[in-house]
Amino acid sequence: MTSRQQMYSDVTSEYLALRREGGVVADVFDVVRVSGSDAVDFLDGIISQEVATLPVSRATRSFLLEPRGKLVALLWILRDGDDILLLTLGSGEEVAAALSRYLIRVDAIVAVDGKMSLVVGGDDVAGTPIPIRGLDGAVATRDYPDELPLVGEIAWNAVRIESGEPLMGIDVTEKTIPQETGLVPDAVSFTKGCYLGQELVARIDTRGHVNKRLMGLVVNENVLPPVGAKVVSDGKDVGVLTSVSESLELMAPVGLATVRTEVADDTMVDLTWDGGGTRALLRLLPLVGT
């Protein structure tokens, strides 16, 4: 997944670098490059976001889905000259392999193309603005200013959870329906042509609903619940904690969990695990920022 250190200096200063002063999460994005004269048309028939109208100036979100509409990868897409770059948090090999299965009679090449870093703050950073909930001024780049501090895995994970940025294989899986992520408004074009998994996405959007959704949790006391803790409401198991960290902004432990939709936001729930338990407030994402 990553070779980042858990911390480079101390967690507090690294966290504040991302939230206040400027910092770098080095090599956080896997990059998949799609090139060739058919690259745009090829991707437009596969991923959920419209590629043909993708601006040069910024990245946008997208999903890669399997034909039945379940999740393969969470993506950001951006232009690099005539090529399209697909960025993921740790799923580059899987994305390249999935796309390559559809390279039939098209002039397109799919290849893993190294890493990009996430930079927040700093002057004149050469890169592409990238949307991350609750984290203003984020840029994806190959190069970053040496004067900006490196941010380790602990601080980045805290900001990621506060922002409600799910990880494939941890917070979302191949069983996840796009609408469960809360990212559909930013990641799906409902006006483009057909793409893999479109039928399920469109059907839920027009006539249906999902039974669960990704939510944030703010723990009531200074207890760090373990990943896998059950989310319980009115005596019923309604979800499972998938990510957890300490939030300096909220001065409390925070987490992500996929929770049944009948449990409203701003509801107090129980978190239970073998040998322990605590209370937490269920909240919409992001937990910090907008």
Domain membership of residue 27 (yes or no) is yes
Predicted pLDDT at 24:
96
Instruction: Say if residue 21 is in the same domain as residue 104.
Output: yes
Dist CA 285 CA 66 (whole Å):
26
Q: Domain of 32?
A: 11-163
> 16 with 146, same domain?
yes
Q: Are residues 156 and 234 in the same domain?
A: no
pLDDT over threshold 70, residue 157: yes
DSSP β-ladder status, 236-247 and 109-120: unpaired
The pTM score is 0.95
One domain, residues 155 and 240: no
Residue 264 lies in a domain: yes
Q: What is the DSSP letter of 39?
A: H
Signed CA dihedral, 269, 225, 229, 248: sign only = positive
Indicate whether 216 and 157 sit together in one domain: no
Identify the pLDDT of residue 207: 85
Q: Are the beta carbons of 83 and 76 closer than 8 angstroms?
A: no
Residues 280 and 136 in one domain: no
The answer to whether residue 195 sits within a structural domain is no
Pick from 188, 187, 280: nearest CA to 239: 280
Residue 282's H or E segment, with its range, is: strand 276-283
Q: Does 140 share its domain with 215?
A: no
Domain for residue 168, yes or no?
Answer: no
> At 248, which CATH number?
2.40.30.110
Q: Are 221 and 207 in contact (CB under 8 A)?
A: no
Whether residue 124 is found in the same domain as residue 221: no
Question: Per the domain annotation, does 176 fall within a domain?
Answer: no
Within a domain: 5? no
CATH of the domain at 111: 3.30.1360.120
Mean per-residue pLDDT, 106-115: 98
Residues 16 and 142 in one domain: yes
Residue 37: pLDDT over 70: yes
Q: Provide the mean pLDDT of the chain.
A: 95
Q: Are residues 239 and 157 in the same domain?
A: no
- Reply yes or no on whether the pLDDT at 123 is more than 80: no
Please indicate, yes or no, if residue 244 is contained in any of the structural domains. yes
What gap in Å lies between CA 66 and CA 75, rounded to an integer? 14
266 found inside a domain: yes
Give me the number of domains the chain comprises: 2
Query: Is there a single domain that holds both residue 44 and residue 105?
Result: yes
Burial class (CB in 10 A: 0-12, 13-18, 19+), 278: middle
Rounded CA-CA distance 268/236 in Å is 13
Integer Cα distance of 128 and 92 in angstroms = 19
- Which residue, among 124, 121, 141, 140, has the nearest Cα to 132 in the 3D structure? 140
Looking at the fold, whether 151 and 75 belong to one and the same domain comes out as: yes
Nearest to 63 by CA among 194, 184, 151, 172: 184
